């Protein structure tokens, strides 16, 4: 009986460790892919998103206090078909959107924040890495 309980505990522990390893490897792969497709740096993007206070309008996982309700929740933004309801969700459009939302979708609730191209690429990498 004690042997069986020990075997079960060992199995559960191994499953937990395996799940953690798989999650970590998947996250790293997603982050690497996000950097490649945007030509940005997701780590720097997290700082950009924080510095520009994007969380005052958007809910953004991974950013402390980012619980805004004005704009859409940005969870899984990389899996969505469109940006702003009508623009194709691809890396170049995302970068352009972050730099000049009013040029791409005049009248949108998304304000011009003045992001540079590098900042927009980094922010896009962060958003795509969070899917």
6 pLDDT higher than 80: no
Provide the H-helix boundaries in 74-116.
91-99, 101-104
Q: What is the pLDDT of residue 5?
A: 59
Q: What is the pTM of this model?
A: 0.80
* 127/131 Cα distance (integer angstroms): 7
Token code pair at residue 73 = 């929740």
2 pLDDT higher than 90: no
Q: Residue 129 CB: number of other CB atoms within 10 A?
A: 24
């Amino acid at each position: 009986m004690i042997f069986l309980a020990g075997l079960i505990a060992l199995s559960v522990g191994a499953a937990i460790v395996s799940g953690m390893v798989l999650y970590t490897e998947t996250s790293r792969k997603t982050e690497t892919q996000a950097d490649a497709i945007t030509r940005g740096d997701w780590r720097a993007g997290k700082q950009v998103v924080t510095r520009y206070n994007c969380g005052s309008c958007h809910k953004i996982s991974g950013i402390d206090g980012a619980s805004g309700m004005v704009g859409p929740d940005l969870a899984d933004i990389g899996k969505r078909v469109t940006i702003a309801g009508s623009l194709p969700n691809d890396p170049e459009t995302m970068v352009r959107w972050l730099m000049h939302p009013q040029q791409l979708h005049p009248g949108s609730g998304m304000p011009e924040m003045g992001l540079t191209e590098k900042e927009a690429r980094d922010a896009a990498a962060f958003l795509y890495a969070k899917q």
